[in-house]
Structure 1
Amino acid sequence: MTTKVSTQSPPSTDEQIVEEVLAHINAARKAEGLAALQLDDDLSRASALHNKLMINGCGLSHQCSGEGDIGKRFSAQGVRWSSAGENIGFGSSGSSAAAMIKAANGLTDSMLAETPPNDGHRKNLLSKGFTRIGLSIVRDSKGVTWMTQDFVG
């Protein structure tokens, strides 16, 4: 594995938070008879860089001004993929890791509760075609937790 160098420093996500949110996602997948998603460090870096742009003024968007689409963002971090998807969200939380986990899991639960035809987030979370995930969960200076979930197969 090679180390990727970027001129942008993404916000860091506490490892405990990522592990808890990934476990929550994989529990939902298991309940549907699906294999667990594997955390991908390069994909998580793409997630973190996107989160940084959203936090720094872009707002909730799948493509910020001057940013490539998800395929270009993933490839720029060395991610090999044949299919790709992304979920983004934000919500208020306290500053503790437990509060951030609760916020991120709540966002995930809202996505899992979607119903057709407006269930794109749910489809990403429960896709048989996605095998790897990148996660970034960061609290900004205003107490808002931002989450980017990136998926590839």
Structure 2
Amino acid sequence: MAIRGERTGRGANGRRSAFALVALVAGCGSPPANDPNGAAGERSIGIRSAIAGRPMSRADAEHYMLELINRDRAAHGLAALPWDETAARAARRQAEDMAARGFTAHWGSDGSVPEQRYTEAGGEDVAFENVGCFVDANASPLAVDAPYMAEGLVRFQRAFMDEVPPHDGHRRNILSRWHTAVGVGVAQVEGSRIPCVAQEFVDDWGTYEDLPRKVSVGDFIDIRGELREPAELAVVGIARIDTPAPRAAENLNQTNDYLVPEAYEAYLPRRLKTPFPRPRGVLSLLGSTFSLGTYLDDEGKPGLYEISIWATFPGVNEERLVSLRTIEVALRAR
């Protein structure tokens, strides 16, 4: 879903800039990375500056938005989320891309999708994305050391939280009880005080062995991991989308929701009594650990292959997505 309209303010090109808000729609991340600067509550200088109406650094602005997120969650009886630097790297990449090119979307100008950016940032779980930026398709240079004002960040967060059903994807994302951490990225362009924002909410329900980043069609891979209680393994899926290609800002501004690709193969777990043998093509489950050895081959097609892990939880009648990672798969050289 997207909310599109006009926002007061002028960009570096002197034009009045449109803005939009977009929320990722998907199922329900790596454990939160250590934040060398401390959590939002510990960034007292940045928060005090925001309250006093003084400019903030980019890092303080990102943690100030974390503070806003946690205030809204607390108001609804939800636990505060710690900072996840891995998710923040993915968020900054998208915020900078949107700001520099004047678009709002879950796709990047390079054609990247949210789970790809999160995987490439080092994530092993799933990040749920809220984004907001311009939709004027005007390219502008990034203001790397720009000061940030609290007002612009508050307006974005308020717009997210003021949504009403059924068009309340950002609000539901912020208030999800499944999230365990969050990373925020902000960016501004020269001559503007209007920030572009990306929020990446992470769920941490397991640990997973690394997957290769690049392979060829037909290559064999091992998918291994362990879920933590109360999560129980339900399905491992493999999907494929076409290799991402650059997209123009005008095209990106026509997009709305991003849906997780449908799997072309899905594996149900088979519980083992002993560690071995673990046959290929079988999702083996021993205790809480699982493994699946399989070939990446969707009718011989190259592309971006996606490995999804789904789990069930007590009292929940549907599977929830707990990990979504990507692998670049090329045609085999002859």
Shorter chain as denominator, the TM-score bin is: 0.7 to 0.9
Partner of 2:114: 70
Q: Percent identity?
A: 27
* 2:62–2:185 contact (8 Å) kept in structure 1: yes
Which residue number in structure 2 is paired with residue 122 of structure 1?
171
The equivalent residue for 1:34 is 78
Instruction: Indicate the residue corresponding to 1:148 in structure 2.
Output: 198
In the alignment, residue 140 of structure 1 is paired with which amino acid?
V
Q: Which amino acid aligns with 1:86?
A: E
**Is the aligned partner of 1:85 residue 2:128?**
yes
Q: CA offsets per residue over residues 64-107 of structure 1, 9 Å max, x none? A: 233322111111111121x431111137xxx643x2x2211211
Q: Matched residue pairs, number?
A: 137
Greater percentage in helix: 1
Distance in 2 (alpha carbons) for counterparts of 1:47 and 1:123? 18
- Residue by residue, what CA displacement relative to the aligned partner does 1:5-46 show, whole Å, maximum 9, x if unpaired? xxxxxxxx6222122211111011011111111111111111
- Give me the whole-angstrom Cα distance separating, in 1, the residues matched to 2:110 and 2:187: 22
CA contact (8 A) 1:58 1:65 kept: no
Q: After the TM superposition, which of the residue ranges 16-25 and 61-70 deviates more from structure 2? A: 61-70
Q: Secondary structure at the match of 1:39?
A: coil
- Mapping of 1:84-103 within 5 angstroms? 84-90=127-133, 96-97=147-148, 99=149, 101-103=150-152
Contact 1:60 1:89 in 2 (8 A): yes
In structure 1, how many angstroms separate the alpha carbons of the residues matched to 2:164 and 2:108?
27
Residues 85, 124 of structure 1: 8 Å contact kept: yes
Structure 1 residue 58, shift from structure 2 partner: 5.4
With structure 1 as the length reference, what TM-score do the two structures score?
0.80
What's the secondary structure of 2:71's corresponding residue?
Answer: helix
The residue identity in structure 2 corresponding to 1:20 is Y
Preserved CA contact (<8 Å) 2:73 2:174 = yes
Over aligned residue pairs, what C-alpha RMSD do you find?
2.1
Distance 1:58 1:90, change over 3 A: closer
* 2:40 alignment counterpart: none
Q: Which has the larger radius of gyration?
A: 2
CA distance in 1, matches of 2:85, 2:111: 20
What is the TM-score normalised by the length of structure 2?
A: 0.39
Pick the structure with more strand per residue.
Answer: 2
Greater relative contact order (CA < 8 Å, ≥ 6 in sequence): 1
